Amino acid sequence: MSMVKFSDEIMREQLELFGESFEYPVYCTSAVSKGLFSSGAFTTGYAAISGAYLLIVRYDLAGTFSGKPILERVPLASIIKVKIREIVLLKGYRVEIQTRSENKKIKCRLQFLENVVGAEFPEQQQNARGLAAALNRYSSE
Protein backbone atom coordinates (compact mmCIF):
# COMPACT_ATOMS: atom_id res chain seq x y z
CA MET A 1 0.00 0.00 0.00
CA SER A 2 1.47 3.36 -0.99
CA MET A 3 0.33 6.87 -0.22
CA VAL A 4 -0.91 9.27 -2.88
CA LYS A 5 1.74 11.59 -4.23
CA PHE A 6 0.79 15.13 -5.14
CA SER A 7 2.15 16.86 -8.25
CA ASP A 8 1.02 19.09 -11.09
CA GLU A 9 0.89 16.14 -13.49
CA ILE A 10 -1.23 14.01 -11.12
CA MET A 11 -3.49 16.99 -10.38
CA ARG A 12 -4.25 17.44 -14.08
CA GLU A 13 -4.84 13.70 -14.56
CA GLN A 14 -7.28 13.62 -11.63
CA LEU A 15 -9.17 16.72 -12.80
CA GLU A 16 -9.46 15.21 -16.29
CA LEU A 17 -11.57 12.42 -14.73
CA PHE A 18 -14.47 14.89 -14.82
CA GLY A 19 -14.35 14.76 -18.63
CA GLU A 20 -14.46 18.50 -19.23
CA SER A 21 -12.02 21.33 -19.72
CA PHE A 22 -10.99 23.33 -16.67
CA GLU A 23 -9.11 26.44 -15.64
CA TYR A 24 -7.05 27.50 -12.61
CA PRO A 25 -6.19 24.07 -11.18
CA VAL A 26 -4.79 24.31 -7.64
CA TYR A 27 -3.52 22.01 -4.93
CA CYS A 28 -5.73 22.64 -1.89
CA THR A 29 -7.47 21.34 1.17
CA SER A 30 -11.23 21.11 0.99
CA ALA A 31 -14.29 20.12 2.98
CA VAL A 32 -17.78 19.46 1.67
CA SER A 33 -20.75 19.30 4.08
CA LYS A 34 -23.92 17.90 2.56
CA GLY A 35 -26.36 18.21 5.38
CA LEU A 36 -27.09 19.34 8.87
CA PHE A 37 -25.17 16.51 10.53
CA SER A 38 -22.28 16.31 8.06
CA SER A 39 -19.07 17.71 9.50
CA GLY A 40 -17.15 17.98 6.26
CA ALA A 41 -13.64 17.31 7.53
CA PHE A 42 -10.80 18.90 5.57
CA THR A 43 -9.01 16.62 3.12
CA THR A 44 -6.18 17.16 0.69
CA GLY A 45 -6.74 17.32 -3.06
CA TYR A 46 -7.25 19.64 -5.98
CA ALA A 47 -9.77 22.15 -7.28
CA ALA A 48 -10.43 23.92 -10.57
CA ILE A 49 -13.23 25.71 -12.33
CA SER A 50 -14.94 24.66 -15.55
CA GLY A 51 -17.57 26.50 -17.54
CA ALA A 52 -20.42 25.37 -15.29
CA TYR A 53 -18.82 23.74 -12.24
CA LEU A 54 -16.34 24.05 -9.44
CA LEU A 55 -14.47 20.75 -9.68
CA ILE A 56 -13.05 19.28 -6.48
CA VAL A 57 -10.90 16.17 -6.15
CA ARG A 58 -10.62 15.05 -2.53
CA TYR A 59 -8.84 12.22 -0.76
CA ASP A 60 -10.23 11.09 2.57
CA LEU A 61 -7.89 9.24 4.92
CA ALA A 62 -8.56 5.87 3.25
CA GLY A 63 -8.20 7.45 -0.21
CA THR A 64 -4.83 8.90 0.70
CA PHE A 65 -3.56 5.36 1.07
CA SER A 66 -5.60 3.67 -1.69
CA GLY A 67 -5.26 6.46 -4.23
CA LYS A 68 -9.04 6.55 -4.86
CA PRO A 69 -10.27 10.14 -5.08
CA ILE A 70 -13.70 11.53 -4.25
CA LEU A 71 -14.91 13.68 -7.15
CA GLU A 72 -17.22 16.59 -6.32
CA ARG A 73 -18.93 18.71 -8.97
CA VAL A 74 -20.43 21.92 -7.55
CA PRO A 75 -22.74 23.68 -10.04
CA LEU A 76 -21.80 27.35 -10.25
CA ALA A 77 -25.43 28.23 -11.00
CA SER A 78 -26.49 26.82 -7.61
CA ILE A 79 -24.17 29.07 -5.60
CA ILE A 80 -26.02 31.10 -2.99
CA LYS A 81 -23.07 32.72 -1.24
CA VAL A 82 -19.29 32.94 -1.57
CA LYS A 83 -16.98 34.34 1.08
CA ILE A 84 -13.30 34.75 0.19
CA ARG A 85 -10.72 35.65 2.80
CA GLU A 86 -7.09 36.28 2.01
CA ILE A 87 -4.56 34.48 4.19
CA VAL A 88 -2.04 37.30 4.36
CA LEU A 89 0.94 35.72 6.12
CA LEU A 90 0.90 32.54 4.04
CA LYS A 91 -0.23 34.23 0.80
CA GLY A 92 -3.31 32.19 0.09
CA TYR A 93 -7.10 32.09 0.20
CA ARG A 94 -9.85 30.64 2.38
CA VAL A 95 -13.09 30.25 0.43
CA GLU A 96 -16.52 29.33 1.80
CA ILE A 97 -19.26 28.49 -0.69
CA GLN A 98 -22.91 27.79 0.04
CA THR A 99 -25.03 26.12 -2.61
CA ARG A 100 -28.44 24.55 -2.78
CA SER A 101 -29.09 21.25 -4.52
CA GLU A 102 -32.34 19.32 -4.37
CA ASN A 103 -33.51 21.47 -1.43
CA LYS A 104 -30.34 20.65 0.53
CA LYS A 105 -27.78 23.23 1.53
CA ILE A 106 -24.25 22.21 0.65
CA LYS A 107 -21.28 24.00 2.16
CA CYS A 108 -17.87 23.78 0.49
CA ARG A 109 -14.71 25.14 2.04
CA LEU A 110 -11.42 25.45 0.19
CA GLN A 111 -8.03 26.62 1.35
CA PHE A 112 -5.21 27.09 -1.12
CA LEU A 113 -1.87 28.84 -0.98
CA GLU A 114 0.03 30.57 -3.74
CA ASN A 115 3.14 28.49 -2.99
CA VAL A 116 3.23 24.79 -2.12
CA VAL A 117 6.27 23.71 -0.14
CA GLY A 118 7.75 20.32 -1.01
CA ALA A 119 5.84 19.69 -4.26
CA GLU A 120 6.09 20.86 -7.85
CA PHE A 121 3.14 23.05 -8.85
CA PRO A 122 4.73 25.59 -11.23
CA GLU A 123 1.51 27.53 -11.93
CA GLN A 124 0.07 27.41 -8.40
CA GLN A 125 0.55 31.13 -7.73
CA GLN A 126 -1.20 32.40 -10.87
CA ASN A 127 -3.86 29.67 -10.68
CA ALA A 128 -4.60 30.45 -7.01
CA ARG A 129 -5.14 34.10 -7.88
CA GLY A 130 -7.22 33.15 -10.93
CA LEU A 131 -9.44 30.71 -9.03
CA ALA A 132 -10.02 33.24 -6.25
CA ALA A 133 -10.95 35.91 -8.82
CA ALA A 134 -13.25 33.53 -10.72
CA LEU A 135 -15.07 32.50 -7.53
CA ASN A 136 -15.23 36.13 -6.39
CA ARG A 137 -17.66 36.79 -9.25
CA TYR A 138 -20.22 34.79 -7.26
CA SER A 139 -19.49 36.63 -4.01
CA SER A 140 -22.32 38.32 -2.17
CA GLU A 141 -20.05 40.47 -0.03
Largest CA distance in the chain: 45
CATH number at residue 68: 2.30.29.30
- Report the predicted TM-score, pTM, of the whole model to 2 decimal places: 0.89
For residue 123, being part of any structural domain is answered with yes
Residue 43's domain comprises 8-136
pLDDT in tens, 67-121: 688 899 999 999 999 999 999 999 999 999 999 877 788 899 999 999 998 888 9
For residue 77, being part of any structural domain is answered with yes
Q: DSSP strand E in 14-140: where?
A: 23-33, 43-49, 53-59, 70-75, 79-87, 92-101, 104-113
Query: What's the burial of 115, exposed, middle or buried (CB within 10 Å: 0-12/13-18/19+)?
Result: exposed
* CA gap 47, 141 in Å, rounded: 22
Q: Give the chain's domain count.
A: 1
Q: 18 to each of 50, 72, 103, 122, how far by Cα in Å?
A: 10, 9, 24, 22
